[in-house]
């Protein structure tokens, strides 16, 4: 019998994020947290898997749900799915926990979609995002969009483009979908086979088609703006006014329909112009009035966005923005007496809030100093036989500033923390 193939490599579409990139990753989430927490958003941690029905509420016709979900049956026979996005979970949390409105929350974490993998498109990818439930005020739409914009600004990105659209109220969208069905139906022979298939599921998605002939047909399709009710049109006007008031530039594109079925009224996307068109969508969101009801809650307005962490960092690379922070430590402890001194010294340093590392295995002074140099620390604390006997520690500067000669000195073991706090 053939041996089963043992594969210890990571699954297709997943990534290993190592230092220093991982530090940058955490830094990005930290910046996001600063921006949204300053605006009153609280952190939520939804489960990574849910009952599959929760995601079906996003619309069985959406690609994410119909084609890309990682579904499985657990040992108790329950149908579960790894979350393909987090809005559905946040809405489910809202319905289950009934917090007071307005409920303003943010999240960060991985999602799973069985995608065709390419650069910037993974099967496990991270998003940061916010959701607000219980407020139907166009100025909230502006706030939400502005928070994403300020976040990109804080990262140092300058080539982000905001594209905006309104999908109208539920009825508007339905009427528009009917009009599209009629229009594309009368051109069905000229459409690509993919678009014909999409048409049957969701005519709005045909507008997204980039295939040669489809584009010409799409160009002549009915325009969504002609199907907006007066209320929806007024809402959209106010959103645009608000963005102008905050000096946030935007383009209106009424072909922007976005992947998920639940969007209503305002929808938006952020494109990074420094990236190739295939992966330049770095974030998006919109209103999803109606989703709470779909999950058994009271009628509740909702709006939010999700920004792709992986892709936002690619955009940062392309703009040379938000570099990896200098990781590592400030102090490196070298102990050639066996390691006990290094053990207690590092513990003391850590407790005093000083970043420190050490060498192991009682190697030679030369070998330990090599590791100290590589660590990026500013000073080495050296304990050799003489120091140990005299109750001293040698403090040796490691990174020399220009023109300065690094002089080492000995200090009393008991003064180490105070001395470092003064000099670091």
Residues that bind ligand AMP (CB under 6 A): 85, 113, 115, 120-122, 125, 127, 259, 281-284, 306, 308, 310-311
Inter-CA distances, 207 with 48, 211, 320, Å: 32, 11, 34
CB of 242 or CB of 308, closer to ligand AMP: 308
Give me the residue label for tokens 């678009």.
Answer: 195
Is 191:206 a contact under the CB 8 Å cutoff? yes
Least distance (Å) from ligand AMP to the CB of residue 260?
7
- Residue 262 CA to residue 232 CA, distance in Å, equals 16
Calpha distance 223→176 (Å, rounded): 8
In the bound complex, which residue of the shown chain has the CB atom lying closest to ligand AMP?
Answer: 308
Give min distance, CB of 403 to ligand AMP, in A: 47
Identity of the residue, 68 or 419, whose beta carbon is nearer to ligand AMP in the bound complex: 68
Smallest separation (angstroms) from ligand AMP to the CB of 352: 41
Smallest gap from Cβ 356 to ligand AMP, in A, equals 37
Closer by beta carbon to ligand AMP, 176 or else 305? 305
Question: What tokens appear for 391 in the block?
Answer: 């109750």
* Shortest reach from residue 113's CB to ligand AMP, in Å: 5
Instruction: Give the Cα separation of 65 and 58 in Å (integer).
Output: 7
Nearer to ligand AMP, 269 or 357 (CB): 269
Between 162 and 369, name the residue whose CB sits nearer to ligand AMP: 162
Using the minimum distance from each CB to ligand AMP, give the nearer residue, 306 or 372. 306
Interior angle at CA 164, CA 184 and CA 29, nearest 5: 120
Residue for token digits 């779909």? 294
Smallest distance from the beta carbon of 268 to ligand AMP, in angstroms?
10
Minimum CB distance to ligand AMP, residue 115 (Å): 4
Gap between the Cα atoms of 380 and 353, Å rounded:
17
Query: Biggest alpha carbon distance in the chain?
Result: 94
- Quick check: helix, strand or coil at residue 382? strand
Nearer to ligand AMP, 303 or 383 (CB): 303
Q: In Å, what is the CA distance from 57 to each residue of 65, 166, 270, 376, 386?
A: 9, 21, 25, 51, 72
Minimum distance from residue 97 beta carbon to ligand AMP (Å)? 23
Where in 1-146 does DSSP place strands (E)?
42-43, 49-51, 71-73, 79-82, 103-112, 124-133
Q: Which residue has the tokens 């927490």?
A: 37
Closer residue to ligand AMP, CB minimum distance, 68 or 294: 68
Spatial CB neighbours of 9, under 8 Å, sequence gap ≥ 6: none
Helix (H, G, I), strand (E, B) or coil at 269: strand
Q: How far is the CB of 124 from ligand AMP (least distance, A)?
A: 8
Strand partners, 333: 358, 381
Q: What are phi and psi of 171, to 5 degrees?
A: -65, -40
Task: Using the minimum distance from each CB to ligand AMP, give the nearer residue, 84 or 346.
Answer: 84
């Amino acid at each position: 019998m053939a041996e089963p193939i043992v594969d210890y490599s990571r699954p297709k579409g997943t990534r290993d994020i190592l230092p220093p990139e991982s530090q940058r990753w955490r830094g990005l989430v930290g910046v996001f947290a600063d921006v949204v927490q300053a605006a009153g958003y609280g952190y939520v941690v939804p489960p990574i898997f849910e009952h599959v029905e929760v995601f079906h509420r996003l619309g069985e016709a959406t690609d994410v749900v119909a084609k890309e979900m990682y579904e499985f049956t657990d040992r108790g026979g329950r149908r579960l799915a790894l979350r393909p996005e987090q809005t559905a979970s946040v809405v489910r949390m809202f319905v289950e926990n009934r917090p007071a409105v307005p409920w303003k929350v943010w999240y960060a974490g991985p999602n799973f979609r069985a995608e065709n993998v390419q650069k910037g498109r993974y099967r496990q990818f991270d998003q940061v995002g916010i959701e607000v439930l219980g407020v139907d005020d166009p100025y909230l739409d502006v706030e939400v969009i502005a928070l994403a914009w300020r976040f990109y600004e804080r990262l140092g990105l300058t080539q982000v483009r905001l594209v905006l659209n309104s999908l109208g109220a539920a009825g508007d969208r339905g009427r528009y979908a009917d009009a599209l069905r009629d229009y594309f139906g009368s051109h069905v022979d000229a459409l690509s086979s993919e678009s014909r298939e999409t048409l049957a599921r969701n005519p709005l998605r045909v507008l997204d088609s980039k295939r040669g002939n489809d584009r010409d047909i799409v160009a002549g399709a009915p325009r969504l703006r002609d199907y907006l009710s007066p209320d929806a049109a007024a809402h959209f006007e106010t959103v645009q006014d608000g963005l102008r008031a905050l000096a946030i530039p935007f383009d209106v594109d009424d072909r922007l329909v976005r992947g998920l079925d639940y969007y209503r009224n305002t929808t938006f996307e952020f494109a990074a112009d420094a990236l190739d068109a295939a992966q330049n969508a770095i974030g998006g969101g919109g209103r999803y009035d109606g989703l709470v009801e779909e999950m058994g809650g009271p009628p509740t307005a909702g709006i939010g966005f999700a920004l792709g962490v992986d892709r936002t960092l690619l955009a940062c690379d392309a703009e040379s923005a938000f570099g990896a922070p200098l990781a590592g430590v400030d102090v490196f402890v070298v102990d050639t007496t066996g390691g006990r001194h290094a053990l207690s010294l590092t513990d003391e340093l850590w407790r005093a809030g000083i970043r420190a590392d050490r060498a192991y295995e009682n190697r030679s002074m030369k070998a330990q100093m090599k590791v100290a140099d590589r660590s990026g620390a500013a000073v080495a604390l050296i304990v050799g036989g003489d120091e140990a006997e005299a109750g001293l520690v040698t403090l040796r500067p490691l990174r020399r500033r220009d023109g300065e000669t690094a002089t080492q000195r000995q200090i009393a073991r008991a003064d180490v923390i105070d001395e470092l706090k003064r000099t670091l």
